[in-house]
Structure 1
Amino acid sequence: MTPVLRHAPAGPPPGSAHSPELRAAAAHLGRRRLLTGTAAAAALAFAVNLPRAGVASAAELDARKIAEDPFTLGVASGDPSPDSALLWTRLAPRPYEADGGLPANRVSVRWELAHDAAFSRIAKRGETDAHPEFNHSVHVEVPGLESGRVYYYRFRTGSWISAVGRTRTAPAASARTSALTFAAVSCQAYHDGYFTAYKHLAAEDLDAVFHLGDYLYEYAVNSAGGARNYQDRELPAHFNRETVTLDDYRMRYGLYKSDPDLRAAHAAHPFVVTWDDHETENNYAGDVPENDVPPQEFLLRRASAYRAYWENQPLRAPQRPDGPDMRLYRRLHFGRLAQFDILDTRQYRDDQAYGDGWQLPGPESEDPGRTMTGPNQERWLLDGWKKSKATWNVVPQQVTFARRRNLPTAGYKLSMDSWDGYPASRQRLLNGVEAAGLKNFMVLTGDVHTAYAYDLKKDWDNPGSRTLGTEIVATSVSSGKDGTDRPSNWATFMEANPHMRFYNGRRGYVTVTLGERQARADFKTVKVITTPGAPVTTAASFVTEVGNPGLRPV
């Protein structure tokens, strides 16, 4: 979260990242294009149109010739629905190489979905192609499944068999589900330490995991793995630079998914993912990059990042990117108990006011026309709330939603990168909560590398005003290194924000159980992640009652 002073131009000038010509060029981004200097102009002039999966014309590779295990990155499932499952894997015998160690040929991959881990009762099976244009990733949507069921899945190609994954379908739309348990995670900087939290997360009994952003970081990782301080091996030198090109992003996902605890968590639970900034670049805002680079260069970088994100995440076909654009916001239902509206607060936002750090609020940040979500996503969200029949309406998203002052006195500053930098946009959503009559509203948040719990107030200046909902902020998996239970500003923040119920600076995750009478949030932490294997403890637990929003400790 490096503060950088930036100001957006009044409108898109000729040649800006908003221009149709640049967007069209980025949409035709060819793999292995460099995105710096004159190469960016070359990419714009000579970009090659990429065929969509299923229409690629690459010759088929005889899978029997694959001499090394191609399933090094594991398996995953995502976005559970009542009657289908989305299954993912990517073939990469050499995950630290841009092409994964495979030639530019399509590879036939078989998949199986079973009722049991031994695969003695097969529910569905089929075959698909892993295309080189999509880095040999596989996204299989399996239809015709039973609702509210556990299934097991695996992939085969040649003589190789993947690890076994476990997934769940969502309850039927009309089902009166008594309880739903999920986890929220965010911010996993490889170079800051081990993904110990995921080892414990894999052992939890969960219906889903919501990843709230910063799945990877664009920053350089040295040969020792940063804080992991490897003594027995060295990482390739190409990781010791910032990710910019499509190859860079692809290899960085190979590095992150080589972590066994991350693979175990993916294999254990379906994930619902959304990004924040570091999957592309620190604190970018819409089409505005962090640094002063040509707009076409950043737009091509964004296209590369979005494409690699799609290739490496368990996402369905509607989320497949089109150049520098990707519709990631979407809605999931879990019976009549819960509606989840997953947001993208990065792609459509206005540029941060007064820079992207902690600043005094002023006319620019408080401009009533400013938006965090963009008008289309905002309208989609508000309309969805009006139609919702769910007991709980949950919004998984990226940055802190509640007001968060850094001082209890005049002269306080607010984070311009969070919703505090877009207060009019936040107020429109809170007005929408009231207009839709939502009685049980919850926001899930990542980004800040700390765990918070907030009451969402109608009037932030009046602690006794009506509580409209709750916000649960998941700490980081590893970003920020080991952390501490009480950061140095703990007392100041608690005093400055009376609606803040909890603040902890350790690494970990949060589990939430939604029920017909109440919701319970358990903040799980580990004390050390710069060395592996630390145990997990519950740092705090809170409940909020149905029809009576507000958090109380248990």
Structure 2
Amino acid sequence: MPTAGAPPASVISRRDLLRYFSAAAGCFVVGAAPAALGGCARPRGRPSRFSFPQGVASADPQSDAVVIWTRVEGDADAVGLTAQIATDPSFDSVIAETGIDTLPELDHTVRGLITDLEPDRFYYYRFIDPDGGASRTGRTRTAPLGTARQLNVAVFSCQDYEQGYFTAYRRLILDDQAARPEDRIDFVMHVGDFIYQSIRGPDTIAEPDHNGNRLKLMNRDGSVRRCEPFPSGGRVAGRNWIAPVDLDDYRWLYKRYLTDPDLQEARALYPFVQIWDDHELLNDYWQSYYREQSIAELKVASNQAWFEYVPAALSAGGRDSDESHASDFEPVDVTAAPAGDFDDHYLSQEPNNLAAINSMTIYRSLKWGDLAELFLVDGRSYRGPRGLPQELLSIGRHPYPEGPVDPLLIRTLNAGRTANGGNPPDEVVYLGRTLPNPRKDMPMGSMLGRRQKAWLKNGLKNSGASWKLMGLNGGLIRHGFDDSFRGGGHKNGSLWTDGWDGYPVERTEICSFIRDERITNVVSLTGDRHAHLAGVIYDDFDGDGPVAVMPEFAGGAVSAVSRMIIQRELSAHDPQVSRLVTFDGRAQGYEQAIMPSLNAWMLHGAASAEAVFSGEDREEVLRASDPEVNPYMNYVDADAHGFLVARITPDRCDVQYVSVFEPVSLAGNEEAGVRRRVNLHIEAWPEGREPGIVLGEVEGERPLYGLKA
């Protein structure tokens, strides 16, 4: 936790970083000894009053350090634990041991930075309680220093405990056990929506599964897979979902999610590297606001809960990096106050907003030797309101426009008073209606904020790594939707204006910077859209002769409802568009009742999607394909659940998308069967060349019209 008068993080010495980290409540630092210690504590092997119901975890591997974490139950007061790290799983060679207190004000969670470790090595850790009981053993590792031959990253996102099982983690573990040593996972990167803030109440209207059923899921122990009522009782939100209202409610969610055995085992086996998206706080929030309402107190509460339950090297981070702004959670008192006094990136300078978002800073970078540098970006805390103003959105639980919108309109609104070279129009045309321009006098809407954007640009430009990886909470690629069959329609209209499609000005700025600075081998790794997606990102999607500057690989949801089902709900009001999203699978001979025409709509256009809906053969579907629709996209899999694995070597980046069967069956979760694997790769590219994704082998059931060479 930074202290008053601390120097800027980018110039803090390692010694000061450790001092600030160890001064934070619930944090400790211990250095590893060069050889095994003698006289270390051993578990007593008898019943204990204490337990570790959320398991153990490690995070943010660096060349000489890693963070470890646990939570203990058994006493309302502080509980003293012994933390150990060893070079072997039997703990015969303990190289670090220290006593620590877990405090009730941090919900009895604790995180520690283990330093003075050897690079590129596995370690084992555990916690021993006052009665001699032990936590499960965790395994972690450090990053290499200097030359690195390969990096293997598994990318996860969007896990809804009540919507499905965390089968994807079970599949990852099974795959990793069968992999060659050089291909085994180095760390898991979770890019957001680790929890879903709203839970089901007695009258909640939940989404169906892929067969149209609304299921009651059970856990292995016979309990109903529900999050139970919040400690506060919560508040009733849209469609009778129950939303959290305070810190204890957010803690309750993490505690419930982390009892899942597959997630818990994955956290024990691999270091996790994490950022957040919106559901860790509230759907579609920006800064500390929901729509125009201040939620500053909730922002602080959700930040504290994330800090308590998600280990990360924040104040103690940047040990291998040249610049670090990250900082641990620091309690602040805030009250609700209207947004105002915006800077030129639409960041509200209202003091309560600044205090809330600055109570913790999570954007940071990690290095994997000379092979890769990973830039972890916070796309929520500093963003302005979405490009399409909320008052224009009227469809669905997650508000979207009624139909695809002209991307140039989004750009005009996003640019605010800077549009048209500082001469924004007085009026705009939205879905055939002429309206006053609501952003005419407002600043440009940023996704990253001025300071974080400067950090990202500087890091990309000056990185000495062969590959520059961006861990994003949402994809940079444009997601176009063809409604050109309508008068005034567009071949690549915008629907998902809650992501980068709603912030095109800054997207163009960042991608043009990469082009102009001739930065090569940049890769975006992301999730968010509840679908497997892949393609290349242009410097300017609206420009003449756009240039590809990086590939993007976006993984589907772990268990949250699929994009196909979400989009089906959002298009139900429009019979013409709904045909382009789903069709009756059983009427066409498929086992699955609800099938996606959405893949074809996004990869091939409306005519192809209509042919899919009508049951035309493959030749007819592809004959109707329009090459001007999303020409930069290679893969769309709208009913997929699972994850992706990126394997990076100096010469190429191989990506495998792993799709599990819809995770709504307990038996299916135990088997963790694979529906399909889609393999893509991209070769490292020199200055003056553009990246291009190459389709490899597809194992199992092919995604329905979801691949384009």
Q: TM class by shorter-chain length?
A: 0.7 to 0.9
Aligned-residue sequence identity (percent) comes to 30
Does the 8 Å contact 1:458/1:468 carry over to 2?
yes
Alignment of 1:58-457 (within 5 A): 68-92=49-73, 102-103=75-76, 105-158=77-130, 159-172=132-145, 175-203=146-174, 204=176, 205-222=184-201, 227=215, 229-230=217-218, 232-234=222-224, 237-239=228-230, 241-290=242-291, 293=293, 295=294, 298-318=295-315, 319-322=327-330, 323=332, 324-325=356-357, 326-352=360-386, 353-355=388-390, 357-358=400-401, 360=405, 361=407, 362=409, 363-367=412-416, 369-407=444-482, 409=484, 410-411=489-490, 412-457=493-538
Q: Displacement of 1:317 after TM fit? A: 4.6
* SS of residue paired to 1:494: helix
Distance 1:269 1:211 in 2: 12
1:502 corresponds to which of 619, 635, 649: 635
Does the 8 Å contact 1:393/1:442 carry over to 2?
yes
- Residue 541 of structure 1 is matched in structure 2 by 679
Q: Displacement of 1:440 after TM fit? A: 0.4
Does the 8 Å contact 2:537/2:552 carry over to 1?
yes
* TM-score, structure 2 as length reference: 0.64
Distance 1:436 1:462 in 2: 18
Does the 8 Å contact 1:192/1:481 carry over to 2?
no
Specify the code of the residue in structure 2 equivalent to 1:238: P
Does the 8 Å contact 1:463/1:499 carry over to 2?
no
Distance 1:286 1:154 in 2: 37
* SS of residue paired to 1:529: coil
Specify the code of the residue in structure 1 equivalent to 2:479: R
The structure-2 alpha-carbon separation of the partners of 1:238 and 1:161, relative to structure 1 and needing over 3 Å to count, comes to: same
CA distances 1:258-291 after superposition (whole Å, capped 9, x unpaired) = 100000110111000000000000000112214x
Distance 1:192 1:463 in 2: 43
Q: Displacement of 1:470 after TM fit? A: 0.4
* SS of residue paired to 2:361: coil
The structure-2 alpha-carbon separation of the partners of 1:53 and 1:317, relative to structure 1 and needing over 3 Å to count, comes to: farther
The structure-2 alpha-carbon separation of the partners of 1:338 and 1:89, relative to structure 1 and needing over 3 Å to count, comes to: same
Does the 8 Å contact 2:530/2:563 carry over to 1?
no
Specify the code of the residue in structure 2 equivalent to 1:244: V
Q: Displacement of 1:184 after TM fit? A: 0.4
Does the 8 Å contact 2:56/2:69 carry over to 1?
yes
Does the 8 Å contact 1:135/1:311 carry over to 2?
yes
Q: Displacement of 1:148 after TM fit? A: 0.6
Distance 1:54 1:328 in 2: 18
Specify the code of the residue in structure 1 equivalent to 2:223: R
Distance 2:366 2:602 in 1: 34
Deviates further, 333-342 or 409-418: 409-418
Q: Displacement of 1:457 after TM fit? A: 2.0
Q: Displacement of 1:200 after TM fit? A: 1.6
Q: Displacement of 1:465 after TM fit? A: 4.4
Does the 8 Å contact 1:219/1:242 carry over to 2?
yes
2:659 corresponds to which of 521, 525, 528: 525
* SS of residue paired to 2:152: strand
Distance 1:281 1:371 in 2: 19
The structure-2 alpha-carbon separation of the partners of 1:528 and 1:54, relative to structure 1 and needing over 3 Å to count, comes to: closer
Alignment of 1:456-471 (within 5 A): 456-460=537-541, 465-471=546-552
* SS of residue paired to 1:327: coil
The structure-2 alpha-carbon separation of the partners of 1:252 and 1:227, relative to structure 1 and needing over 3 Å to count, comes to: farther
The structure-2 alpha-carbon separation of the partners of 1:67 and 1:119, relative to structure 1 and needing over 3 Å to count, comes to: closer
Aligned CA RMSD, in angstroms, stands at: 2.7
Distance 1:479 1:420 in 2: 22
The structure-2 alpha-carbon separation of the partners of 1:314 and 1:66, relative to structure 1 and needing over 3 Å to count, comes to: farther
Specify the code of the residue in structure 1 equivalent to 2:498: D
Distance 2:94 2:522 in 1: 39
* SS of residue paired to 1:383: helix
* SS of residue paired to 1:415: coil
* SS of residue paired to 1:258: coil
Larger gyration radius, structure 1 or structure 2: 2
CA distances 1:466-520 after superposition (whole Å, capped 9, x unpaired) = 3211001011000016968963311110132111110112110000001111100
Does the 8 Å contact 1:408/1:492 carry over to 2?
no
Distance 1:311 1:86 in 2: 13
Distance 1:461 1:308 in 2: 40
2:602 corresponds to which of 493, 518, 524: 493
* SS of residue paired to 2:692: strand
1:552 aligns with 2:694: yes
CA distances 1:124-159 after superposition (whole Å, capped 9, x unpaired) = 222211111111111110000000111111111122
Does the 8 Å contact 1:74/1:263 carry over to 2?
yes
The structure-2 alpha-carbon separation of the partners of 1:54 and 1:242, relative to structure 1 and needing over 3 Å to count, comes to: closer
Does the 8 Å contact 1:407/1:413 carry over to 2?
no
Specify the code of the residue in structure 1 equivalent to 2:647: T
Specify the code of the residue in structure 2 equivalent to 1:72: P
Deviates further, 464-473 or 213-222: 464-473
Distance 1:493 1:137 in 2: 44
Does the 8 Å contact 2:27/2:110 carry over to 1?
no
Specify the code of the residue in structure 1 equivalent to 2:64: D
* SS of residue paired to 1:161: coil
Q: Displacement of 1:449 after TM fit? A: 0.5
The structure-2 alpha-carbon separation of the partners of 1:301 and 1:207, relative to structure 1 and needing over 3 Å to count, comes to: same
Distance 2:651 2:675 in 1: 26
The structure-2 alpha-carbon separation of the partners of 1:70 and 1:227, relative to structure 1 and needing over 3 Å to count, comes to: farther
The structure-2 alpha-carbon separation of the partners of 1:82 and 1:227, relative to structure 1 and needing over 3 Å to count, comes to: farther
The structure-2 alpha-carbon separation of the partners of 1:166 and 1:327, relative to structure 1 and needing over 3 Å to count, comes to: same
Q: Displacement of 1:435 after TM fit? A: 3.3
Q: Matched residue pairs, number?
A: 483
1:476 aligns with 2:484: no
Does the 8 Å contact 2:157/2:190 carry over to 1?
yes
CA distances 1:241-263 after superposition (whole Å, capped 9, x unpaired) = 32221110011111100100000
